[in-house]
Amino acid sequence: MHATRQCVATAVRKRAFHRSFRTAVTTDDLEQQLRVLLSVQEDEHQESESEAHGKPMSAGR
Q: What pLDDT is stored for residue 29 in this prediction?
A: 84
The predicted-structure confidence for 36-58, as pLDDT tens digits, reads as follows 887 776 666 565 555 555 555 55
Rg (CA), the chain: 17
Would 24 be classed as within a structural domain?
yes
The DSSP code for 1 is: -
Q: Give me the pLDDT at residue 37, please.
A: 81
Question: Looking at the domain assignment, is residue 57 inside a domain?
Answer: no
Q: From CA 25, how far away is CA 60, in angstroms rounded?
A: 45
Q: Does residue 13 sit within a domain?
A: yes
The answer to whether residue 51 sits within a structural domain is: no
Domain extent, residue 19, equals: 5-43
24 — pLDDT class (breaks 50, 70, 90)? confident
Helix (H/G/I), strand (E/B), else coil: 25: coil
Number of domains in the chain: 1
Q: Is the pTM value of this prediction over 0.85?
A: no
Rounded CA gap, 61 and 51, in Å?
23
Stretch 9-30: mean pLDDT = 87
Whether 10 is in a domain gets the answer yes
Does 59 map to a domain? no
pLDDT (0 to 100) of residue 34: 80
Query: For residue 50, is it within any domain?
Result: no
The phi-psi region of residue 60 (left if phi > 0; otherwise alpha if psi is between -120 and 50; otherwise beta) is left
